Amino acid sequence: MSLEARLAALEARNTKVDTNKAWETSLTRRLSIVVITYATASSLLYVLLVPDWYFGALMPVAGYTLSTLSLPYIRQIWEISYPKK
């Protein structure tokens, strides 16, 4: 494999990694998960005849939202304590 081909493959891989990273941290992804989680939880609670199912379905959405808000801080702590090689 030539140097130019290896460089092109590396640049393509970097572009893909950057795109995946952007998706993982995007507001679109987070809102999609919130909507899908609420729809799934509310449907299940409705079928199970849970009173006030629309409020009960907010619990997993709130848990997800809080976890995504706290993850950057947890990662900072982890990066500080992670042993460096």
Q: What residue spans define the domains of the chain?
A: 3-81
Residues 64 and 37: beta-carbon distance below 8 Å: yes
Cα-Cα-Cα-Cα dihedral of 66, 69, 73, 76, to 10°?
Answer: 120
For residue 73, the model assigns a pLDDT of 86
pLDDT in tens, the chain (85 residues): 899 999 999 999 999 999 999 998 899 999 999 999 999 999 999 999 999 999 999 999 999 999 888 888 888 898 888 887 6
CA gap 25, 27 in Å, rounded = 7
Nearby residues of 65 by Cβ (< 8 Å), 6 or more positions away: 30, 34
C-alpha distance across the termini of the chain, in Å:
32
* Closest listed residue to residue 35, CA positions, set 58, 68, 66: 58
Q: What is the pLDDT of residue 63?
A: 94
